[in-house]
A and B are shown apart, each in its own frame.
Chain A
């Protein structure tokens, strides 16, 4: 069973920068896994932020960016805002299957 691992929780100060990562139990994450990133706030459906490693949707704030870092997919938030406090999930594509990471709870404090 493939496992996708994210940091359970991170804390960042307003205006700061934080990087969330997404690792695969099968080895290094590459662009071929088409990493997606989602933001979810309590009581809401997930909102797509990033697709195919680094591509933003039209509604994705400029302070969010995606990349590959040290064999993992990464989501970097630069100039964090209080409204960025949320749960963040990555999703990796394994051929026909997809697997979500366990999520990272981001606290802005």
Chain B
């Protein structure tokens, strides 16, 4: 149980274009979903927290206009990287938690490369 999927697993896009990453909880309803970014050999950096039907809460230093997050349903959250630049290249991971529980269950991650 508690399976989270992400799509796509890898994406390459050109500088200036936008790319959307989907995060789905497959066997549970996720009241809260989280988006992280991870640099090579570094730990996870929380970007934003989203609750279904509400605006996302962004961490300090994360540009909300660049990283658009939508949590339209209890099983789907999307992260759109707008006007991507090479410095946005990274490993993006989402996680989800069940109502009443504190654990977060992570997706497999999306490797974004901006050329």
A-B interaction: no
Interfacial residues, chain B to chain A (CB-CB below 8 A): none
